[in-house]
Amino acid sequence: MALVLDSDDAEPETRHRACWYGRRSPELPALLTVQTIEDGQLLYCAHPMLFPIVGYDFDIRNCTGCDAFKPQLSRRM
């Protein structure tokens, strides 16, 4: 069963979780500014054109309306 998420109306956390570029890191920066922390992990975007610019200083509210959104492949159980 595939997860289809085409709506920009989805919550940013849901959209980040469903995106192939959405990543999590257990290491938190010493100085928190615009980063998003969920469940004790740092959320960031690993898109090759975005990550070199913003790095780990990523706010997942930017996921809403992102043109680079790429759905993950679903895992079959």
> CB of 59 within 8 A of CB of 36?
yes
**Domain map (residue ranges) of the chain:** 12-63
Confidence (pLDDT) at 33: 87
Confidence (pLDDT) at 34: 86
Q: Which residue has the higher pLDDT, 75 or 29?
A: 29
The set of residues, in sequence order, having a beta carbon less than 8 Å from that of 67 and lying 6+ positions away, is none
**Taking the model in full, what pTM does it have?**
0.75
pLDDT in tens, 17-54: 889 999 999 999 888 888 988 889 999 999 999 899 98
